[in-house]
Amino acid sequence: MGLFSPKKNKGMSLAQLREFDKKAISHIVLREGGDEQIIGRTGAITVKDDEIVVVCNGSQALRISTKGAVMATLMSGNGVDIKGVTAEGRSVHAIAYYSKLRQ
């Protein structure tokens, strides 16, 4: 074991994740490798006890477990970076951009 061993990412606490609850978004982008794909427009982020759900236009755009999930505000302040694992066990990296309305 070296002097600078990598830290294991245990994710964020539920209280930290709840800071993003009920945020209105204009669109959400799924990132895979170097590619980005818009997976939903006009929606909101919901943080429940065991999962984070992004609903766009009345349908589910993204659903990940809160266990091990990480959400961070973009440096520009106009969105949130979301990383987590789906129920199928697939790692997901998405960016949700806030709507223009004040939050």
Of 52, 95, 91, residue with least CA distance to 73:
95
Q: What is the pLDDT of residues 54-93, one digit of tens each?
A: 999 999 999 999 999 999 999 999 999 999 999 899 999 9
Mean pLDDT on 22-31 = 95
Domains for the chain: give ranges and CATH numbers.
14-98 (2.30.29.30)
Query: Is the Cβ–Cβ distance between 29 and 48 less than 8 Å?
Result: no
Would you give the DSSP letter of residue 17? H
Instruction: Give pTM, 2 decimals.
Output: 0.84
What is the pLDDT, as a whole number, of residue 5?
54
Answer whether residue 2 shows pLDDT above 60.
Answer: no
Phi, psi of 93 (to 5 degrees): -130, 120
Relative to beta strand 79-85, strand 70-73 is antiparallel
